[in-house]
Homo-oligomer: A and B are copies of this chain.
């Protein structure tokens, strides 16, 4: 962690088995300081102690399994730590709240060194600092094989500001932040590079043309800035969700939860200029990648028509459709055809199944 921390330099850890569970947790977490007044007691007791201060508490948990959700052959541990934190924070923002604390459970086999875990923690701490979140606990145990991560984020929102998946009404506008499909394009590039490397270990990859999409896969950000904007401008979405499994899947969640339908205009779906050629290299239509790719961690929300003027020219907010009385989720293509949207997002129990 800190080069100037003499104590650590004097005790170079040899293996996680030598350190033991308590020694390892101490090694990884000793430099963590507390930044939130909602954190009363962090690491070091039977439970963390938090004070919601009359707000509602939001709790969300995500599990990430090596070689199912991430591949360490191309995913640096520091980025993995960052991403593990961010995907949980994203779920808290999707409730219109702010994350305050993170707990992280890690199971690792003995092939991982203390330095490797420290890399992971460095990323975790970077994300925690950037998003103003305290790391308050978790468990670090042995696995028989590979690395399994379980992150739990705790956040807060005022009682009159919590936004659910349900709540959209007919004529509400559907808004998405940022751009879609890039994280999936980045994944495809990384998988291709891995194949190339396995076939020819001398191969030197040049990822420069793909830097945007690769970064979207390896170092996603959660849209704290969008929540800040909504609050500053007094806009309360009528429903909201974050895009982890793909726009199709999330739109269907919002329609089912509301009991109403949605129409999305194909030409309104935001796709970054860098994403289009990357997806086309794999013969994937950019809109298909945007609809079904997943892992973008953008926010998808509905607003009342009365907020249209406030939102219409905000950079990074894209009005892509509107809610309808009739149920069902439909895409209005550029040719004017109305196509029902099917969820083709990622199924954690089959293979990654995002391409056509």
Which A positions have Cβ atoms within 8 angstroms of B? 16-17, 19-21, 24, 40-41, 44-52, 54, 56-69, 91-92, 94-95, 97, 101, 103, 105-107, 110, 136-146, 148, 150, 152-155, 159, 162, 164-165, 240-242, 257, 347-350
A107/B63 contact (C-beta < 8 A), A56-B51, A347-B20 known: yes
Determine the chain B residues whose CB is within 8 A of the CB of A137 once the complex forms: 59-61
Determine the chain B residues whose CB is within 8 A of the CB of A165 once the complex forms: 44-46
In angstroms, Cα B241 to Cα A192, docked, is 51
Quickly give the copy total for this chain: 2
A94/B47 contact (C-beta < 8 A), A141-B348, A144-B67, A145-B144 known: yes
A349/B143 contact (C-beta < 8 A), A57-B50, A62-B105 known: no
Q: In the complex, are the beta carbons of B57 and A57 less than 8 A apart?
A: yes
Q: In the complex, are the beta carbons of A61 and B103 less than 8 A apart?
A: yes
Chain B, residue nearest A241 (CB): B46
Q: In the complex, are the beta carbons of B110 and A349 less than 8 A apart?
A: yes
Out of B41, B51, B52, B60, name the residue touching A47 (CB < 8 Å). B60
Out of B68, B105, B141, B240, name the residue touching A69 (CB < 8 Å). B141
Q: In the complex, are the beta carbons of A47 and B58 less than 8 A apart?
A: yes
Please name 9 pairs of A and B residues whose Cβ atoms are closer than 8 Å in the assembled complex, sorted by A: A46-B60, A46-B165, A47-B95, A48-B58, A61-B103, A63-B107, A65-B142, A65-B148, A144-B145
In angstroms, Cα B328 to Cα A127, docked, is 39
Chain B, residue nearest A91 (CB): B46
Out of B16, B49, B240, name the residue touching A95 (CB < 8 Å). B49
Out of B16, B68, B92, B150, name the residue touching A63 (CB < 8 Å). B150
Determine the chain B residues whose CB is within 8 A of the CB of A97 once the complex forms: 47
In angstroms, Cα B46 to Cα A155, docked, is 12
Out of B61, B69, B144, B159, name the residue touching A146 (CB < 8 Å). B144
Tell me the smallest distance from the CB of A174 to a CB of chain B, in Å.
17
Determine the chain B residues whose CB is within 8 A of the CB of A153 once the complex forms: 47
